[in-house]
Structure 1
Amino acid sequence: MNRTTYGLDIAKRVFQMYWVDADTGEIVNRRFSRTELIEFLSKSSPGRVALEACGSGHWWARKIRAFGHEAVLLHAKLIRPFVQTNKTDAADARAIWTAVQQPGMRTVAVKSEERQAVLGLHRVRTQLTKFRTMRIYQLRSLLYAVWRDVENWQAGLAELQDRMADIEGRVPGLLMDVLREQLARVRSLDEQISVLEKRIAAWPKQEASCRSLLAIPGIGPLTASALVATVGDIRTFKSGRELASFIGLVPQQRGTGGKIQLGTISKRGDPYLRTLLIHGARSVLLRSNKPNPWAEELSKRRHANIAVVALVNKMARTAWAILAHGQSYQPGYVSTRPQSQMN
C-alpha cells in the first residue's frame, strides 16, 4: 500500500493541507482548525507530511511523528519557486506538496525541545548584547563633545564609571542624572548576559556531542551549544562540505556555457552561528598560545579575513567528522582515502 504524501501549510489558527489520495487519486485541498488537524492526523493511516521549517514547524513535526507519520521540514526558499499563482494558503500547501516530491530535495532536521530551548537562550543573549551595545554608543555620543580622551569602547565604559565625579561639572545636572541611569542599565545588562552565558555553558557539560567539540581550537561552550542545537541531526549532512555550505562558508558559484566562476562566501544559513565560528577562528589566528601552522602559513599569502574564513571552514568540517563518526579531536590528524583494490 502506497503512503499518502501531504503538504501542510501551518499558521496560528488556520491550517491548509493538500494531498492526492494514494488509493483513489482524489485531489484534496482542505482547511483545518488546530483541533481538527490534530484529530485528522491521529486517525489517518501513516503517511508523509511535509511542512515549512519555521518557528512552530519543529513542534508540529514532533507532534506529527507522535501520530506515526513521517514529518519532513523544508526551507521556505525551496518552497517558494513552486507557488504557481498568487500566494495563498491553498497555493502554499500545494507548493509544499510539490516541493517535497522533487528528487534530491534538501530537508531540515527536526529539533528536540531541549535544543530549541538552548537556541532560545542564545537568542535572548543576542538581544541583550545588542541593547548593551546601543546604550554604550549612546553614552559615548552624549559625552563626545565634552570628554574625548577615551581610546576604545570597552575601556571607555570602565573609565566612564570611574570618572563620573570628574565629568559631573562638565555636564548639566539634568543630563547627568540620565547618564547615571544609563550606566546602571548597562551594569544590569552585563549581569543578565553573564547569567545567560553560565546557563548556556552548563548544557555542553551534559551533552556528549558538545563536549567532543570543545576540544577543537576556537570552539567554546557558546559555539559548541549553538552548533549542536542548530544542526540537529548531523546525519542530515552527507559530508563536512555540506555542513560548511549550510553555514554559508563555501564560495558562491556562477556559471554559464560550461564556465564556472567562484565568488565570495555565500553567507547562507544562520548568521549567528557563522559569527560565533568566525570570532573563534579569529581568536585562534591572532591570540592563541598554540597557533595553527596551516592558518598562519595561509595568512602570509592571503588577506587575514580570508585566512579566518578558511580556518572556519576547516573547523566546520572537523566538527562534522567528529559528530558523524563519533570520534574525538586529534590535533594534526590527516585523513586519507582508502586505496581502491585492483581486480
Structure 2
Amino acid sequence: MLALHRMRQQLVKFRTMQINNLRGLLTEYGEVMAVGRAALDNGIPSAFARLAQRLPAVLIDTLREQWNGLATLDHQIGAIERRMRDWKKEDRAVKAISEIPGVGLLTATAAVAMIGDAKAFRSGREFAASVGLVPKQTGSGGKIQLLGISKRGDTYLRTLLVHGARSVVKSRKHTDPWLEQIRQRRPFNVVVVALANKMARTIWAILAHDRPYQNGFNSVRPTPSAPLA
C-alpha cells in the first residue's frame, strides 16, 4: 500500500509538472489560462485553434500530444485510487479511522500501512511525534519552553493530515466545542496543525484499542487503585 502511495504521488507530481509546462508555453504565445485544471481543459482547445493560425503545425501537434498525455496520467492515478478503495472495503482498520472527520481515503490507507502495530507506540502523542506534529521542547531547571512544530518524521503522512485538518476547519460542518474554542484564540494555521495533531492521536487510539470512532469521546485517565493496608 505504501508503494501504491509513492507511485501515485510521483504520477501527481508528473501531472502537475506537465500542466505547469503547458501553461508556461501557452503564456509565451499570448494564451493565458485561468487557474485550475477545469479552466485549462475548457480553454485549451480554443487556444490551440487560435495558435494554429500563426504557429507551425509541428509545434501545435506537440503541444496537443502533451495535453492528451494528461488523460493518460489521470487514468493511471485513478487506477491506483481504485485499488486503494478496494483495500479500504476489505480492511476493518481503514474503515474505522475513515470515520474521523478529515481522514479520507489517502490518509486512512497511508496511516494504517505506515503505523503497522499501533501498540508499538506507547501513546497517541508518540505517534503524533513520529509524524512531526508536536512542538520542539527546550529548557533547563524544570522550565520547559515549547518551540515550533518539529516537522520531523514522515512528511507524506503529515501533509495528508494537515490537508485533511484544513478542510475540516474551512468547512465548519463539524461542530466540535474544542475546535471552536481554539479557533477563537489562535491563528488559522495554528488551529489546522492542532487539529492534525488531534487527528493523529485519534487514529492511534482507534487502532491501538480496537474501538470505533465516537464523535465527542473524551478519554479519562484511569484512577489509580488505593494501596493495600
Measure the CA separation in 1 of the matches of 2:165 and 2:111: 14
**Does residue 316 in structure 1 map to residue 200 in structure 2?**
yes
Tell me whether 1:141 sits opposite 2:13 in the alignment.
no
Find the aligned partners of 1:195 and 1:230 in 2 and give their Cα distance: 21
Residue number in structure 2 paired with 1:225 = 109
Residue 3 of structure 2 aligns to a residue whose secondary structure is helix
Q: 1:172 to 1:302 in 2, by over 3 A?
A: farther
Q: Distance in 2 between matches of 1:222 and 1:213?
A: 11
Write out per-residue CA displacement over residues 224-270 of structure 1, whole angstroms, 9 at most, x where no aligned residue: 11001111111100100000001110001223455432211111111
Q: C-alpha offsets along residues 277-316 of structure 1, whole Å, 9 cap, x if unaligned?
A: 1111111111353354432432332221111110011011
Structure 1 Cα separation of the partners of residues 52 and 139 of structure 2: 63
Q: Corresponding residue for 1:244?
A: 128
Is 2:178 the partner of 1:294?
Answer: yes
Q: What TM-score do the two structures reach when normalised by structure 1?
A: 0.61
Aligned mates of 1:292, 1:302 — CA distance in 2: 15
* Amino acid aligned to 1:223: T
Supply the RMSD in Å over aligned alpha carbons: 1.9
Deviations 1:75-100 (A, max 9, x none): xxxxxxxxxxxxxxxxxxxxxxxxxx
CA distance in 2, matches of 1:168, 1:254: 63
Q: Which runs of 5+ in 2 are unaligned?
A: none
SS at match of 2:145: strand
The yes-or-no answer on 1:285 pairing with 2:158 is: no
Q: Distance in 1 between matches of 2:204 and 2:182?
A: 22
Contact 1:322/1:329, CA 8 A, preserved across alignment: yes
Asked if the contact 2:176–2:216 (Cα under 8 Å) also holds between the matched residues in 1, the reply is no
Partner of 1:338: 222
Structure 2: how far apart are the matches of 1:295 and 1:336?
Answer: 19
Q: CA deviation at 1:144?
A: 1.4
Percent of residue pairs bearing the same amino acid type: 50
Aligned to 2:6: 123
Kept in 2, the 8 Å contact 1:200–1:225? The answer is yes
User: If each structure's strand is expressed as a fraction of its own residues, which one has the higher value?
Assistant: 1
Matched to 1:267, the amino acid is K
Secondary structure of the structure 2 residue equivalent to 1:122? helix
Higher helix share: 2
Name the structure 2 match of 1:181. 65
Contact 2:94 2:112 in 1 (8 A): yes
| Secondary structure in 2 matching 1:255 | strand
Query: Paired residue for 2:149, among 239, 254, 265?
Result: 265
Partner SS state of residue 75, structure 2? helix
The total of aligned residue pairs comes to 225
Where 1:188 maps in the other structure, the secondary structure is helix
- Output the TM-score relative to the length of structure 2: 0.90
Structure 1's unaligned 5+ residue stretches are: 1-117
Asked if the contact 1:284–1:292 (Cα under 8 Å) also holds between the matched residues in 2, the reply is no
CA contact (8 A) 1:219 1:280 kept: yes
Q: Equivalent residue of 1:329, what SS?
A: coil
1:200 is matched with: 84
- The one-letter code sitting in structure 2 at the alignment partner of 1:159 is N
The answer to whether residue 214 in structure 2 is matched with residue 214 in structure 1 is: no
Q: Is the 8 A contact 1:244 1:316 kept in 2?
A: yes
Q: Which runs of 4+ in 1 moved over 6 A?
A: none
Contact 1:125 1:196 in 2 (8 A): yes
Q: Which has the higher contact order (CA 8 A, sep 6+)?
A: 2
